[in-house]
Amino acid sequence: MMDDSKGKAEQRANALREIGVVIDTWDDIFSDFDPRPLSERTVSGDFLEELKKRYKETGTGDFIITIHAPVSLKNEESEKMVTNRLKKHFRQKFLQKQKVLTFIRMRGLMFVLIGICSLSFLTLATYYKFLSELAIQIAGIFLMPLGWFGFWEGLSKLVDTSPVVIQDEKLFEKLSKATYHFKYIT
């Protein structure tokens, strides 16, 4: 029984991935171009790029992000504010990416439906002959390519959604759920 609990604890420990980042000032995390107070500043692009790069190196598992900083920055309130700001920022980015994915997939579904409707109308018009032969031929010139394009393009959007958007969504979800630690260097 003890060996089983040790095995599970090892699996959890192996699933955790630590990303260490060294900063000199809070401006390394938050944009120094943003004149607002530290609690309202946007997250630095360089900091985001570094986390993305490290995420690609580590890949799977839950993250512990350790921020190594000079002792002069040590302040419990600042640590809480930074942690909350980062989690909030990454949560917002995650929700934005989720909306983008939903939009792409809904658009794909709309393309499929337009394609099916176009092809169905053309098939029914040909079978039941509720239009003249000339009108069916003219409608076929427009509806046949529209129908096939809509159907296949829509399926493409549904099945093969942009991998970059999916990767970003996963990244921001993991970063919003990550544990943030601070270690101070003398």
Taken in order 122, 126, 132, 135, the sign of the CA dihedral is: positive
Q: Are residues 19 and 74 in the same domain?
A: yes
In a domain, 170, yes or no: no
Residue 118 contacts residue 146 (beta carbons within 8 Å): yes
Residue 133 has pLDDT above 70, yes or no: yes
User: Domain tally for the chain?
Assistant: 2
- The predicted pLDDT at position 8 comes to 57
What does the block give as tokens for 23?
Answer: 């900063």
- Give the pLDDT mean for 164-172: 90
- The predicted pLDDT at position 24 comes to 92
Q: Are residues 78 and 146 in the same domain?
A: no
Q: How confident is the model at residue 63 (pLDDT cuts 50, 70, 90)?
A: confident
Residue 26 has pLDDT above 70, yes or no: yes
In a domain, 172, yes or no: no
Task: Kindly report the average pLDDT of the chain as a whole number.
Answer: 88
In a domain, 173, yes or no: no
Q: Which domain holds residue 123?
A: 100-163
Q: Are residues 134 and 67 in the same domain?
A: no
